[in-house]
Structure 1
Amino acid sequence: MDFAEQLSAIDREEGNLTDKITCTPVSGSGFAVGATLVTCSVSDSGKRLRTDGSAGPDGEVLTTTASFTVTVEDNTAPDLTVPQGTVSIPAIDINGVSPDYSKWVSAWDLVDEEETPMPVCTPASLPIGLEQTVECTATDSRGNRSDPQSFTVNVTFASASRGLLQPVNDTRNGLPISLFKAGSTIPLKFLPPTFAGGDAATGLAGGLRLVVTTVPASGNSAEEETTDLSSGSTAWRYDLTAGQYVFNLSTKNPFFRAGMGYRAEISFQGVPVARGDFRLK
């Protein structure tokens, strides 16, 4: 801090002595946050004047000392950095994950420096799902709080089979699209996805969602969730012996017609877990 221009010293005999003022700490020094006592002094040369203004004999050098306090306040909030894109985190179990946000979020404070404030992000836990908003702030040791910043998190599975199992061919592997008779029941099967620790996610049946759409889309294309069990379809279940999920899809619903192609997409709380195509004849 530079305070030299705010100092002055005038001597009756010698006039302006401002340039002889010395201070501790010196002007231009760096001051820590808080109050710092600055002590300044100035001395004359000892010259004296008679009452008529003529020079008299030199006397004792006289010194004057004065002090003042410099107070530095920290009103600057920490700099907070969050991801600009979407972060994907694998769930540890069916409840989701309690992320360690420090892997993606950081803060730096101009004053605290090495005592970097730890950002606080909410919510602390996230369920399985896509496009979830996380909001973070950071507060320094003097209570200065950053503006909140947010980013998007997808909580997904560590791995998913993505392809349906037989009798529906996995066309991703170059196999031809499977053909089924209109009005028949098609077993839709897929392997369970896994959690972050490698355990199979075998408890998803109650939350699985199946959407069937026409492929390719045409003038009479539509989308339907096959939850109308009265049409002959069954509920999702996990076959513990086979180690796979099973859904028996009835094509007796008027939505299904001979000569049309269809895509079955299965998801859990919005996170895709399997997909497969078939045609009806």
Structure 2
Amino acid sequence: MLRPSRPSTERPQMLIIAVLLLLVGTVLLVLRWRGVTDSGAATASGLVSVGLGLLAGLATVVHVVAPYEVGVPTTLGKVGGTWQPGLHLKSPLTDVSTFSTRPVDLDLTGKDTVEVRSSEGGVLYADITVKWSVDPKHTQSLFKLAGDTDAVQKRLVYPDSREIVRNVFAKHTGVEGYSSEREAISTEIERLITARLAPRGILVNGVNLRNVKPSDSLQHAIDQKIQQDQATAQAEAAVRTAKAEAEKRKIESESTAAANTAIANSLTDKILMSQCIEAFKAAAEKNPVYASPCGTGGSPVIVDGTKR
């Protein structure tokens, strides 16, 4: 998380302590030097006081910015440039606010779960995590904009993220937000949050739409919609099957009719006469019958030789 800056009263207090220690030590050493006191303890106390005063004074003019942090100095209300990690000299009246550059997780879950409404007016509850960090190049402007380090998340990341989540879900139906378009919604939320916070010096490292839970009334409506969609899909499948069967029967009927027509066109009287004679010959070889091709209308007559 962002590391809070030290209270502005700490530096002046340290400076006052340093001055007092130096004064006490100097007085004790002067008294010993003028012979007002011959006590060795006074000399030792004076040296210790001077040493502590110098250390306390040094602490007011030196500041160390830790790794993965940046500092913003403020001197008598004037904001200075960004300090990178390392040792820096400063005025005793300079206060330094530090920002962590490590990614921070803003978890909008539990009591911070975002209540959203779909385009149909249904209520959903979205759990989302926004991973963000401070852009070191814009720490000075971010400090001026937020006011203090703790306010960055409270005043910028938190409210903007919640607003964007609500706006994105409002463009989708309840079913889309709950199931079919969750990935697209998460991508759109990340894009919009990034576009909103980047100009302010905040980098968005990722957005995770962890869970979307519909309200009880919306869940009932979603279940009904799913059942209706399933029934519609089954009815459409039945219609497609019936059409396919009818088309199949139509094709079979047309094929049979075409075959019959071809056969009828190819069977002339001579062909029929020839086929009948061949059939009678085959029958005569096995049975005492013979064929006479002089029947009525040219049809062969079968004569059974066993009967008189």
Q: TM-score, normalised by structure 1?
A: 0.31
| Structure 1 or 2: more helix by fraction | 2
Greater Cα radius of gyration, structure 1 or 2:
2
| Structure 1 or 2: more strand by fraction | 1
Q: TM-score, normalised by structure 2?
A: 0.29
